[in-house]
Structure 1
Amino acid sequence: MGKYKGEGSLAVRPKTTEEVSRILKHCNERNLAVVPQGGNTGLVGGSVPVFDEIIVSMARLNEVKSIDPLSGVLVCQAGCILQHLDDRVAKEGLMMPLDLGAKGSCHIGGNISTNAGGIRYLRYGSLHGSVLGLEVVLANGEVLDVLQSLRKDTTGYDLKQLFIGAEGTLGLVTAAAIHCPPRPKAKNATFLACATFSKVLETFRKAKADLGEILSAFEFLDKESLDLAVGTYEDVKSPLPGSPERFYVLLETSGSNEDHDNEKLHAFLEAALESGAISDGAVAQDGTQLKAFWRIREGVPEALNTHKAMYKYDLSIPQSTMYGLVEDMRARVGDRAYTVGYGHLGDGNLHLNVVADAYSEELTSLIEPFVYERTAELGGSVSAEHGLGQMKADCIGYTKGDSAVSLMRLVKKTLDPKGILNPYKVLPLPGEVTPPQDS
């Protein structure tokens, strides 16, 4: 987003775990701070140096070590690009459990370090479940090898979980073992119109009940999001031109039997129309149209990026109340900015965005800290899938209580006693007061 800029006098590009180990051992001995970098697709400033940290690029650690078609386990280095991994496992009839808009440039190590979510979360869950093992270099250069590829292992503490979502503050992930599900043989998508957000929720309930195991994605966007994407790009076109409705749903199914899946999908659509949950809809007739439907969803964040000022929030909120925050924000900023809401409804992930022609103190004060306070009141999380980085390090208290933050500090102090790993990220600086959880 161009929000965070940093300068470093030195960048290193190790190619092996042993080289990463030597770098961190040297830096730890000399009290030199480091910031790890993957594909630099993050949105919270997590990979940007704050002062003069040494940049450790993981780009050259890009080897696929093994793929087991029977167990579905992929073992690869942290610098592998997500799209390249998906293409590689596809040859074995598998797929990556993760799919992001930035898949063409993001690194799997960065995905793991931020516990990235994406559009397949509804079907395959988080990386806390998909990652079976990790290789991590600790602050003192010691290599922690918990890279086993077993689906079941209850021997002691599950240490790998500490590093999933830690954003490089506890150790640098250098390799991972990931469980990859079978690649679906049949896939379809529908673009649906709903009059109200309550109708969107009703559609989601029916989709879970009627589509069950073949439901793979359930995305929603408001009319403001759709109009922005269609109005910005010539190749983004609404499948329902002229629709007067306020909300739209992109629903995807995937399975192993096309006839079976299509039968279930059409039965669901007929029932949803009859009940009034949806007012109109279009079904992708082929792979090209399916991609065109997803181009709409992908076009929204791209169109937002064309504005000079963008306030971007990645929030996790109970599904029944999540759109209320968008309406509240729209009322607060009025015509000072353009407010849109969209996201992964299936897992309660709201992307709230406010864009304007220029940043201003007035607009910022209307948005923050209101957006975080309201999220806390709704029982949500200030970060659903983008991480905290430097953008939200001071906001962790809105979601986690004092005891949790204190324990996190203890873990950080234990694994990185000199504080050299990605400083100024995730946790507030010592002595700073985080917002109370019940604010």
Structure 2
Amino acid sequence: MRRPLAAGLRTFATTPARRAEPPPPRRPDFKKLDAADVAHLRSLLGSPDSSLVTTIPAPNGEWTACAQEDLVSYNSDWMDKYHGHSPVLVKPKSTQEVSKVLQYCYQKRIAVVPQGGNTGLVGGGVPLYDELILSTEGLNQIRDFDDVSGILTADAGAILESLSNFLHPKGYMMPLDLGAKGSCHIGGNISTNAGGLRLLRYGSLHGTVLGIEAVLPDEKGTVLSINMPGGCGAGALRKDNTGYDLKQLFIGAEGTLGVVTGVSILTPRLPSAYNVAVLSVPDFKSVQTVFKETRTHLGEILSAFEFFDHEGLEMVLEHTGAQSPFESQPEEGAEKPFYVLIETSGSNKDHDDEKLGGLLESLLENGTISDGTLAQDETQVQSLWSLRESLPEAAGKLGRVYKYDLSMPVKDMYSLVEEARERFAEKGLDKDGSIKTTVGYGHIGDGNLHINIVAKDWDPKVEKTIEPWIYEATAKRNGSISAEHGLGLMKAPYVGYSKTEPAIAVMQQIRRLFDPRGILSPAKYLPQASELPFQSEEERVQ
């Protein structure tokens, strides 16, 4: 029932990458890819002509080099913020091919960036320098589905929307839903621990992922199968209390411990009844009041509770040309209202309608809400959801968007947006047109704030005003600098705002254990360790 990623939204340009701090220099021990590497990599692939694309020419005519433009969409993120210069793209079609590629890259010290659908927002899936791009788009098969337990097993490169389309006729659905579902890969979702719109109802991927298959960047290209059907040991089980739960390390690791190639995930039954309502409330305190009342009245049928501010609504209406769903409009000079979107999903429409009707009646009687719209059919459901889901697209059309994905106690969420606007006004960035607007929206049910700062252009002056202030402000509210978008390149230097030094040190040790030569996504995810991962001086590449 969600809209796919808008067609034509993904564009690329040649503007320089933006970053508050310069990235660390390319490690001197990494090998520069050459024709000999390309020839060997081709020998590892069953279909080398379709599974390897490179700008490196063949000295003997064995392959045809592509143009630089052919790799632009893999070297650049979809928001045109981060740009790399990789000359080689590898698209393996099996886990064993991934294993052979990583084994070779380990032996030669070739840096690798794993890439899924390349829909990330923090620069985690594109090269920083000239790393080999290992794309999972060739791993796109559904391996198995158990229609009794609802356990789905698929390759990591399967597109989220394709999995949803496979499940719906069988009466099941994916437990997560994202705006980029038409492009993102399930392996990338798991590697970033994507949250999305259904987390309130179905929980995070740490709970729904039952098994993971991943390839390690070591001397053997070890294939690690953890609770996967058909593998050695226990399969995809909801209960397995034997030893450390290793799969949890790969959920949210952003490809820094290994390349996820397969997944088993628990899928819920597809609801047969939906309701969507959008309500207008006078202030953010009322948003919280409505949330408490909603949980009390709706209980188990509540599947989404979203909020957005008036600035966001105006931006969407301007972008889409749609009319406001509300009869009343705020008077000039009056406090701007907030809006909440409530979705219910269940198996008995009459029962759900009665519950939602009771909630709306109670909120109207006590004066908590002043206006609202209840969808009467599927078309209206889509229309109301578009008010919330069109926010990122509308911001992107208005200008360059500095996106921040934060989590914190619900009571503190919107005060950060207000503080940001005050800060920009003090710096004169609104008056000189550097910043066009600042909007706040997000998932109230899990304390996830999305703040979109729309600027005229990527501007060091603007970015220095935002960072690291926004991370400091989040830390003061006992929040996290990343709720669901990950760390990537953008937030790696700032992990200390959410994690202690001992915790970061332990994470770096874990990373070195899985990736002893540090070839996966260098300079991303965590602050650069003070010691380069040489096992001995003899291993240093001259």
CA radius of gyration, larger in? 2
Cα distance in 2, alignment partners of residues 354 and 390 from structure 1: 19
**What residue ranges of structure 1 are gaps of 5+ in the alignment?**
433-439
**What residue ranges of structure 2 are gaps of 5+ in the alignment?**
1-78, 229-234, 331-335, 532-542
Cα distance in 1, alignment partners of residues 122 and 458 from structure 2: 17
Q: Output the amino acid matched with 2:365.
A: E
- Mapped contact 1:238–1:296 kept (Cα < 8 A): no
- Mapped contact 1:342–1:350 kept (Cα < 8 A): yes
Aligned match of 2:302? 215
Aligned match of 1:57? 135
Q: Quick one: which of 183, 205, 208 aligns to 1:105?
A: 183
Aligned match of 1:437? none
Q: Secondary structure at the match of 1:429?
A: coil
Q: Output the amino acid matched with 1:354.
A: I
Identity %: 55
Aligned match of 2:238? 151
Q: Quick one: which of 81, 86, 90 aligns to 2:164?
A: 86
Is 2:396 the counterpart of 1:314?
Answer: no
Aligned match of 2:256? 169
Cα distance in 2, alignment partners of residues 243 and 144 from structure 1: 57
Q: Offset of 1:126 from its aligned partner?
A: 0.5
Is 2:320 the counterpart of 1:240?
Answer: no
Q: Output the amino acid matched with 1:347.
A: D
Cα distance in 1, alignment partners of residues 355 and 468 from structure 2: 45
Aligned match of 2:206? 128
TM-score (structure 1 length as normaliser): 0.97
Q: Quick one: which of 487, 503, 507 aligns to 1:404?
A: 503
Q: Output the amino acid matched with 2:516.
A: P
TM-score (structure 2 length as normaliser): 0.78
Is 2:277 the counterpart of 1:190?
Answer: yes
Q: Output the amino acid matched with 1:208.
A: R
Aligned residue pairs total 431
Q: Offset of 1:159 from its aligned partner?
A: 0.5
- Mapped contact 1:339–1:352 kept (Cα < 8 A): yes
- Mapped contact 2:327–2:371 kept (Cα < 8 A): no
Flag as ranges the 4+ runs of structure 1 deviating above 6 A. none
Q: Output the amino acid matched with 2:393.
A: E
Q: Quick one: which of 176, 181, 205 aligns to 2:268?
A: 181
Cα distance in 1, alignment partners of residues 308 and 145 from structure 2: 37
RMSD: 1.1
Is 2:445 the counterpart of 1:349?
Answer: no
- Mapped contact 2:281–2:369 kept (Cα < 8 A): yes
> Structure 1, residues 88-121: CA drift from partner, whole Å, max 9, x if none?
0112110000000000010000000000000000
Q: Offset of 1:310 from its aligned partner?
A: 1.7
- Mapped contact 1:323–1:341 kept (Cα < 8 A): yes
Q: Output the amino acid matched with 2:282.
A: A
Q: Output the amino acid matched with 2:510.
A: V
Q: Offset of 1:364 from its aligned partner?
A: 2.1
Cα distance in 1, alignment partners of residues 328 and 371 from structure 2: 11
Q: Quick one: which of 315, 339, 343 aligns to 1:228?
A: 315
> Structure 1, residues 208-234: CA drift from partner, whole Å, max 9, x if none?
111000000000000000000100112
Q: Offset of 1:241 from its aligned partner?
A: 4.7
Cα distance in 1, alignment partners of residues 168 and 400 from structure 2: 39
Aligned match of 2:60? none
Q: Offset of 1:242 from its aligned partner?
A: 4.1
